[in-house]
Amino acid sequence: MRVAIGSDHAGFELKGLLCTLLDELRVEYRDFGTYAPDPVDYPDFIAPVARAVARGDYDFGIVLGGSGTGEAIVANKVRGIRCVEAADPVVARLGREHNDANVLAMGARISGVEVARACVREFLSAEFQDGRHVQRIEKIARIEAEEARA
């Protein structure tokens, strides 16, 4: 499993802690930045993570900011990305199981470190459940294709 991870300045510290978790889990990852706690514009760091996942260079992405909301919005602008914003491990797991989410967004100002670690564990260990969910993912892909042509 390969994971792309990125953050803005608000998610910088949490990103470091989650990189430690990825090391503990023996998950290969690439840190797309930011590399300092100085204020930055989150799209500059989140879009490259999402693009790398969409290209297939990485299996999953993790994007972090203050709330996680802007990060989820940016990631979901990239064709082929299904980003779930989670402040709870159950939501992170269901995002994978029901929506085949390939990017997890979290807010460092919203979730504590242990909750964030639990979200990552659940997200990375969950599997898409197929079945009735497949037609929904296919509908999302059709909407995405229609919007790309518009």
Name the pTM for this structure: 0.97
CATH number, domain with residue 81? 3.40.1400.10
Side-chain half-sphere of 6: how many Cα atoms within 13 Å?
27
pLDDT tens-digit map of 30-42: 999 999 999 999 9
Segments forming the whole domain that contains residue 69 = 2-149
What are 49-80's pLDDT values in tens digits?
999 999 999 999 999 999 999 999 999 999 99
Query: Residues 83, 103: contact at Cβ < 8 Å?
Result: yes
Q: Which residue is catalytic, options 13, 97, 98, 133?
A: 98
Written as six digits, the tokens of 70 are 């802007």
In which residue are the tokens 């090391």 written?
Answer: 23
| Residue 28 among the catalytic residues | no
- Catalytic member of 9, 71, 85, 122: 71
Q: Does residue 133 have an active-site annotation?
A: no
* Upstream peptide bond of 34 is cis (omega within 30 degrees of 0): yes
Number of domain units in the chain: 1
- Cα gap 91→6, rounded to integer Å: 20
